[in-house]
């Protein structure tokens, strides 16, 4: 049902209802892009505003937005998702995409293209079913002055390497190469395996492409060759 309200000779408001019965408390309003959609047979982009109870006794009072088509597969070169755009008020039609929910060759995704995001203090469910707090990170300006300015989210990357020291040596180093980082802000290197308590490690020559791990045998000089696993925690901005 459609109701139009006039102000003099002008139409100022239009109301669309999913039922034409005035005192009825259930109704569904369907807004479809086309009636049939070719071989999609009506399974096309639509919005349903609904207030009713279905045959299973489940009450519905919400809005369901359906995107895509039943006869074509979503793909990276097809815009079959949900998008939000905003005009920029420049009087030349310029607009900016704010959000997108779609599917690509890598899977379904949500894209947020805003300068800021105000997220609730909510937990994220992991693959093991447990709930975790989302980690947040900020880099002190003194660190940024050395390793670059933080411009986006950081990644906590866990890896390991081995360092072999020969008999008669008491210290050694090994270089670690890294790709895909705009900035590496911090690296923690910790000896890991059974005799690791006898060794000390440090990190230096750190850049966006890698760093050097130095290791020292604390008691003095080795009497035999030893290979030590060094666990690494690398905090970087991709």
DSSP 106-138: TEEEEEE--S-----S-EEE-TTS-EEEPP---
* Phi-psi domain of 86 (left: phi exceeds 0; alpha: psi -120 through 50; beta: other): beta
Q: Which helix (H) or strand (E) holds 145?
A: helix 141-147
Neighbours of 58 (CB within 10 A): 8
User: What pLDDT does residue 76 have?
Assistant: 84
User: Could you read off the pLDDT of 59-92 as tens digits, one per residue?
Assistant: 999 999 999 999 988 888 889 999 999 999 999 9
User: Could you read off the pLDDT of 7-39 as tens digits, one per residue?
Assistant: 666 767 778 888 888 778 888 999 988 888 888
The whole-angstrom separation of Cα 178 and Cα 63 is: 47
Domains and CATH numbers, the chain: 2-66 (no CATH), 142-237 (2.60.40.2080)
Is this model's pTM higher than 0.75 or not?
Answer: no
């Amino acid at each position: 049902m459609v109701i139009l309200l006039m102000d003099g000779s002008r139409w100022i408001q239009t109301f669309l209802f999913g039922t034409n019965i005035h005192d009825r408390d259930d109704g569904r309003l369907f807004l479809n892009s086309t009636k049939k959609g070719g071989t999609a047979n009506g399974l096309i982009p639509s919005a349903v505003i609904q207030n009713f109870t279905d045959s299973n006794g489940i009450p519905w009072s919400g809005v369901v937005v359906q995107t895509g088509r039943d006869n074509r597969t979503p793909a990276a070169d097809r815009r079959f998702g949900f998008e939000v755009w905003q005009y920029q008020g420049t009087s030349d039609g310029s607009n900016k995409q704010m959000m997108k929910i779609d599917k690509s060759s890598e899977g379904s995704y949500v894209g947020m293209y805003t300068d800021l995001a105000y997220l609730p203090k909510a937990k994220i469910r992991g693959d093991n079913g447990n709930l975790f707090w989302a980690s947040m990170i900020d880099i002190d300006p003194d660190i940024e002055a050395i390793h670059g300015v933080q411009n986006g989210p950081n990644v906590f990357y866990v890896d390991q390497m081995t360092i072999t020291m020969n008999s008669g040596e008491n210290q050694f180093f090994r270089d670690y190469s890294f790709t895909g980082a705009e900035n590496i802000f911090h690296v923690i290197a910790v000896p890991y395996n059974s005799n690791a308590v006898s060794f000390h490690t440090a990190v230096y020559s750190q850049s966006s492409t890698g760093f050097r791990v130095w290791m020292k045998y604390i008691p003095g000089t080795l009497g035999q060759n030893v290979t030590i696993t060094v666990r690494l925690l690398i905090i970087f901005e991709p």
